[in-house]
Structures are given as structure tokens and as C-alpha cells.
A and B are shown apart, each in its own frame.
Chain A
Amino acid sequence: MQTQENSRGVGSRLVELVVAFGLFVVGVVVIVDSQRLGAGWADDGPQAGYFPFYLGLLICVASVINFIQAVRTRAEQDRVFVRADEFKLVLSVFLPTLAYVGLIAWLGIYVASTLFIAFFMRWLGRYDWPMLIAVSVGVSGVFFCVFELWFKVPLPKGPLELWLGLS
């Protein structure tokens, strides 16, 4: 069961097609916006859309060729883009990072970073509590000193810093 799951994954060809299509859409958006602004000449020279228009055109042409090349890859030549077990590992980093960036707005960057590092160490590293508290609080403390005190670059702060009178 396990081995079967490991060999399963998303084919590169499918991802190639999706990316080429996505870039094509970007190209179309650029062309449409350039047309809106005017892609020709005004009295005072080239209009705002003059240069981007050709960018959009080139994106579309290149994407069509990439798309055709991906279509022509035969199924047996298709590589695996990412295996299911690999993708699980990638998500295990990416999803907590998403949550972390979301938390920054609520809790400030220092508290969010402490929680993020602690969560990561507990979940993937299985560290015991004293160790992970020491590392996560220590790292955030060092960043606080470097940015707020040393370089005087203010980072986002939340309720804890407000309560401590630090922001």
C-alpha cells in the first residue's frame, strides 16, 4: 500500500500544460490592458501600452509553443512532477508558513515567529518543550534586538508588545 502510494504523483506534462496556459492568460491580460491604454502613437510619442503590448504578444507566442511542446511529449516519456510523499513534505512546510503569514497581522511578527518555530520543532522535529521554547523565544528575541534596538527598523507588532509597552 505504502509503495503504491509513493510511486503515484502528478505528471510533469500536466503541470507544463497548466503553466503554459496560465502564462498565456497573463499574456492576454497584458495585451488587453495595453489596448485599453492605447498601444499606438499619440502626439507626444508612444502611448503607455506601446511597450507592454509587445511583451504580452511575446508571452502568448512563447506559451503557445511551450504548450504544443508539452502536448507532443508522449505519455511514456512523462516524468513525475512530484511524488505524493514528496508533495506531502512540501505541504508540511508550506501550509504552516501560510498560517504564519496570516498570524503576523494579528499577533505581530515576533509572537507569530515564536509560535511558528515552536510548532515546527514540535511537529516535525519532536523536540521536548524546554528545548523548543528556548530556541523559539531565543530566535525571536535576537530578531527583536537586531531590528528594533540595533537597526531601528520597526516590524509589525501585536497585542503582546502593546501590553508590554514595547510598541
Chain B
Amino acid sequence: MDELQSLVHGFGVALSLQNIGLMFVGVILGVIIGVLPGLGGANGVAILLPLTFSMAQLPGGTTSAIILLSCIYWGALFGGAITSVLFNIPGEPWSVATTFDGYPLAQQGRAGAALTAAFTSSFVGALIATIVITFLSPLVAGFALEFGPPEFFSVYLLTFCAFVGMSKEPPFKTIAAMMLGFALAAVGTDPVNGALRLTFGSVHLLSGFDFLIAVIGLFGIGEILLTMEEGLAFKGASAKINLRVVLETWRELPRYWATSMRSAIVGCFMGIVPGGATPASFMAYGVAQRFSRHRARFGQGEVEGVVAPETAAHAAGTSALLPMLTLGVPGSPTAAVLLGGLLIWGLQPGPLLFVEQKDFVWGLFASIYLGNIAGLIVVLTCVPLFAAILRIPFAVIAPIIMVVCAIGAYTVKTNLFDVWMMLVFGVIGYVFKKLNYPLAPLVLAIVLGDRAEASFRQSMLISQGDLSVFFANGLVGSMTGLALLLLIWPVISGVLNRRATSG
């Protein structure tokens, strides 16, 4: 039970007055970000990341910085539910499934019950996922200490092939978007021999594209442009949560324990394997519907239909930190931004983090438990306040969000050129989203491009250009094999489906 001892130590690190204050600030900011269109977990964290640069230089500052940023992430996960239930507008992609039953409940005047169910399930999902990563990640990290370049490249391969195999988007669009991300990552100085690649004589491109700019543009500006199409007004149900509604809903919730457990398992799995929170929430909704005794009532305002996607989304969002910390491979765009933060603060994510930065890792784990408790308290007590933010007319909120994005893009490298790049990425995000080109693999490819390339080239150096190095032993061979299986999964499932329908 080394983990428990380390965790207790972690609580000691996280439980300072300053860190608890940061947790509440982070959660409140996160909920606001989650509620506003155009600001989500990924670009919200990206915009606030530059503010932590100075914070991280103080002793113990990296722990405070990650607590602030991860709590913004938890807050954003909570916040997505508010807009889904009250306004039928998913504030975040992973809360789309929450609208199916959440909004009908609100229309029936049970908004308080729907919100309480959503928040509580989010909390349960996060708690289960946190327990999983607390006990699983030291194991994975210990295992990964033995990894060489071929093993790491096969992990990257697995990550990206999982996107092709598991995403709803057409596989060749996924590949095109992903490779565009890798190409953008290759722009600038070659990390191995210093050659200039794809810069075409431009000074601005010497240091390459920063993925934070891409995240702010793709998710922030792109989202605002999409929102604009729907017009300027939000119409929503009003909500009050009082203690009586909360207690009544809590009395009802234990009935759905089986749904919660199933959804949490789906969520943890999809978060660790880079599928992400969005597909996890849809899968959990589908599974819950299949197992439910009230199948026909799904979609008309069934509390169980809110419990399932919220539990899964939060479990997936939380467990996405496991591969990020232990292997340096983030499972979601927001986890990718957090990983970028770690790198900027001078921490190297990967197995060695668990050996060299014990305080940081266990302080972070402890803060996840505490941050989610803080989150639950904040959202249950402040829902009317957050709903009021959504009633601010779009003509006021839209330019302010644009200004926030512009400032966020500028502060990454104090460079005006990046603000222009943000606009370019915004247009790309708008067009890609409308044409079903997935954005998550694009962002992850920009983040991981350099390291995927380095591990590939090192592997090739070891083997003198022989690709069989990726099948050299059982471990790397099975990971590569699994990756290739996932890559051709769309073909396999297509064949299976055809056989099922014809036979």
C-alpha cells in the first residue's frame, strides 16, 4: 500500500491554504469557461497557461500551477452540464448526450433534479476514475521505465491508430487531419540536426507552430463562428436548486448504481485509451438505454439518461490524465494542453516523473480528489449565478470572448503574429468541424509530433532502418499489432456489419 502512503503525503502538499484557494478559483473559472460558448476546457486552460509561467518558478509552484489548471478542467467538465440541461445547448462536446434527457427534464420543471443528478454523477465518475489512476498509474509508470524508443513509438502509434479506428468521423478525414497536425509540428528547426524545415524563409516560422495557438483558434474562434450561425439569442429554462431538491434527487440516485458503475467503466476505458470524453458519454448513454427497464422513456426526461453520460464523460476526462502523466501521451485535447504546461514548467512527463517529482505527482492526485469536492460544492450552490452568465446577450459576450482569445494567443510567446495565426486556425476549425474533420487528433499530433518523430528516428537508428524493430519483442510487437488492428478496424467492422445484415 505504498500508494496510500504517497497519497497521504500528497494531501499534505495539496492542503495548503493557497492551494485550496486556487482550487476554488480554478473550479469557478472552469465552470464559467464551460458555460460560455467558444471557451471550453482545452482552450480555457490554453489561454490561462501563460499566467502560470511566473507562478511555476516559485518553490512548490508547479504543484500550485497544475492544481489551478486541472481544477479549471474539472470546472469545465461540470459546467458543460448546466448549458445542456437549461438551454439545450451543449457547452462542451461531451455534454451533447446530456441534453437528450436533461433538457426534457428541465422543460417538465425538474431542472433542479436534472442538474443535481448531473453534478453528482460527474462527481462519482471522477471519483472512480481518480481511484483508478491513483492505483494504476504507479504500475504503468514502473512498467514504462523499461521502455526504449521503439516501445514509445508503438505507444504513439497506438494512440493515433485508436483515433482512426474509434472515432465517428470518416477514417480518411481523421488521417488527413492528423497528418496535417504532424506536418505543422514538423515546421521549424529539426530537433535532431538543426535543419530548417517548411519555413520558406519566414522568420516567424523558425520556432514552429505553437499548439496552444492552434487550440485557441480551432476550439475558441471556430466555435464562436459556429455559434453565430444559430443567431444571437439564447432561450433557456430557469433553475433553482434548493436543499430539498438535492436531497430528494440524492435519495433517487442509488437506484442507478449499476448504470453509474457501467458508465464509469466505459469512461475510464475510453479516457485511458485515447477515445476521449465525447464518445465515452455517447457509449454510456447507449449502454444505459440497452440495460434499462424504462428503455422507452429515454429521451423524454429520464434521470438515468443524465446519470450515464455525465458519469462517463467525467470518468474519461479524469482518467485521460493517466497516460499523460505516465507515458507522456495525453488522451484528450485538454490533457494535451496540461502536458504542454508541464513541459513549459520544465517537467518531463513520463515514467521518470513518478521517481523524480513525487511531490508534484501525488500533490496533483490529492488535488483531483479535493478539486472535485470543491467543484461539487461550487456548482450545487451557484447554479443560478452561472445560468445568469448565459443570459448576457451574445452581442456583449462574443466580443469579450474574442478579446480573451486574442490576449491568450498573444501571451503564449508575446507575439502578434500568433494572433493572426489564431484567426487562421479559427477558420480551419470552423470549416473542419462542418465537414467532420476531427480536431482532437490534429491537436494531439501537433503536441506529440516532435516526440513521435524523435522516437521513430531513434528506433530506426538502432535497427539501421529495419522496420521489424517494432515487432522485435512481445511487448512492442503486441502494441504495434494492436495499433494496426485498430487502424483497419473501420474495414473489419464494415465487413462484419455487412455479413450481419446479409446473413
How many angstroms from the CA of A86 to the CA of B384 in the assembled complex? 31
**Are A69 and B193 in contact (CB-based, < 8 A)?**
no
**Are B399 and A153 in contact (CB-based, < 8 A)?**
no
A29 is an interface residue with CB less than 8 A from chain B: yes
* A113 partner residues in chain B, CB cutoff 8 A: 403, 406
The answer to whether A98 and B423 touch (CB under 8 A), given A23-B176, A45-B460, is: yes
**Are B400 and A117 in contact (CB-based, < 8 A)?**
yes
Describe A's contact surface by its main secondary structure.
helix
- A residues 27-75 near B (Cβ < 8 Å) are 27, 29-30, 33-34, 37, 41, 44-52, 55-56, 58-59, 62-63, 65-66, 69
B407 is an interface residue with CB less than 8 A from chain A: yes
Q: What's the minimum C-beta distance from B420 to chain A, rounded to whole angstroms?
A: 6
How many angstroms from the CA of A71 to the CA of B231 in the assembled complex? 32
**Are B402 and A46 in contact (CB-based, < 8 A)?**
no
Residue from A27, A46, A89 in contact with B460 in the complex, judged by beta carbons closer than 8 Å: A46
**Are B461 and A46 in contact (CB-based, < 8 A)?**
yes
**Are B419 and A55 in contact (CB-based, < 8 A)?**
no
How many angstroms from the CA of A5 to the CA of B193 in the assembled complex? 57
Residue from A41, A48, A63, A97 in contact with B192 in the complex, judged by beta carbons closer than 8 Å: A48
The answer to whether A120 and B398 touch (CB under 8 A), given A16-B435, A29-B198, is: yes
**Are A59 and B176 in contact (CB-based, < 8 A)?**
yes
How many angstroms from the CA of A116 to the CA of B401 in the assembled complex? 11
The answer to whether A65 and B396 touch (CB under 8 A), given A56-B183, A59-B179, A151-B51, is: no
The answer to whether A30 and B172 touch (CB under 8 A), given A45-B460, A45-B461, is: no
Q: What's the minimum C-beta distance from A125 to chain B, rounded to whole angstroms?
A: 3
**Are B172 and A15 in contact (CB-based, < 8 A)?**
no
**Are B229 and A105 in contact (CB-based, < 8 A)?**
no
Total chain B interface residues with beta-carbon distance under 8 A: 58
* A52 partner residues in chain B, CB cutoff 8 A: 182-183, 186, 197-198
**Are B183 and A30 in contact (CB-based, < 8 A)?**
yes
Q: What's the minimum C-beta distance from B299 to chain A, rounded to whole angstroms?
A: 24
**Are A151 and B407 in contact (CB-based, < 8 A)?**
no
How many angstroms from the CA of A56 to the CA of B430 in the assembled complex? 23
B293 is an interface residue with CB less than 8 A from chain A: no
- B residues 390-415 near A (Cβ < 8 Å) are 393-396, 398-400, 402-403, 406-407, 410-411, 414
- A residues 99-143 near B (Cβ < 8 Å) are 100-101, 104-105, 109, 113, 116-117, 119-121, 124-125, 127, 135, 139, 143
- Among B183, B224, B225, B426, chain A packs the most CB atoms within 10 A around the CB of B183
**Are B403 and A12 in contact (CB-based, < 8 A)?**
no
Residue from A23, A96, A127 in contact with B180 in the complex, judged by beta carbons closer than 8 Å: A23
The answer to whether A155 and B186 touch (CB under 8 A), given A48-B195, A69-B172, is: no
B453 is an interface residue with CB less than 8 A from chain A: yes
* B432 partner residues in chain A, CB cutoff 8 A: 19
How many angstroms from the CA of A30 to the CA of B192 in the assembled complex? 18
* A159 partner residues in chain B, CB cutoff 8 A: none
* A15 partner residues in chain B, CB cutoff 8 A: 431, 434-435
**Are B175 and A62 in contact (CB-based, < 8 A)?**
yes
Residue from B172, B398, B402, B407 in contact with A155 in the complex, judged by beta carbons closer than 8 Å: B407
**Are B173 and A66 in contact (CB-based, < 8 A)?**
yes
Q: What's the minimum C-beta distance from A137 to chain B, rounded to whole angstroms?
A: 13
* A62 partner residues in chain B, CB cutoff 8 A: 172-173, 175-176, 179
Residue from B225, B406, B461 in contact with A93 in the complex, judged by beta carbons closer than 8 Å: B225
Q: What's the minimum C-beta distance from B483 to chain A, rounded to whole angstroms?
A: 15
**Are A37 and B195 in contact (CB-based, < 8 A)?**
yes
How many angstroms from the CA of A50 to the CA of B398 in the assembled complex? 44
**Are B398 and A151 in contact (CB-based, < 8 A)?**
no
Q: What's the minimum C-beta distance from A45 to chain B, rounded to whole angstroms?
A: 5
**Are B431 and A48 in contact (CB-based, < 8 A)?**
no
Q: What's the minimum C-beta distance from B298 to chain A, rounded to whole angstroms?
A: 28
B210 is an interface residue with CB less than 8 A from chain A: no
How many angstroms from the CA of A66 to the CA of B460 in the assembled complex? 31
- B residues 113-164 near A (Cβ < 8 Å) are none
**Are A63 and B176 in contact (CB-based, < 8 A)?**
yes
**Are A82 and B457 in contact (CB-based, < 8 A)?**
no
* B407 partner residues in chain A, CB cutoff 8 A: 109, 143, 147, 155
- B residues 26-78 near A (Cβ < 8 Å) are 50-51, 54
The answer to whether A117 and B186 touch (CB under 8 A), given A19-B435, A41-B465, A48-B193, is: no
Residue from A33, A55, A98 in contact with B182 in the complex, judged by beta carbons closer than 8 Å: A55
The answer to whether A139 and B403 touch (CB under 8 A), given A89-B228, A89-B229, A120-B395, is: yes
Residue from A55, A90, A117, A135 in contact with B225 in the complex, judged by beta carbons closer than 8 Å: A90
Q: What's the minimum C-beta distance from B83 to chain A, rounded to whole angstroms?
A: 19
The digit string for B428-469, where 1 denotes a CB below 8 A from any CB of A, is 001110110100000000000000010011001100010000
B377 is an interface residue with CB less than 8 A from chain A: no
How many angstroms from the CA of A20 to the CA of B176 in the assembled complex? 9
A154 is an interface residue with CB less than 8 A from chain B: yes
* A93 partner residues in chain B, CB cutoff 8 A: 224-225, 228, 398, 402
The 10 A-B pairs of least Cβ separation, nearest first, read: A125-B395, A48-B195, A120-B399, A62-B176, A86-B229, A124-B395, A48-B190, A62-B175, A117-B399, A45-B461
29 example contacts (A-B, Cβ-Cβ < 8 A) are as follows A15-B431, A15-B435, A19-B431, A19-B432, A27-B179, A30-B186, A30-B198, A33-B198, A37-B190, A46-B460, A47-B193, A51-B186, A69-B172, A86-B229, A90-B225, A93-B225, A93-B402, A97-B423, A98-B423, A100-B403, A100-B406, A101-B423, A113-B406, A116-B399, A120-B395, A121-B395, A127-B396, A153-B51, A155-B410
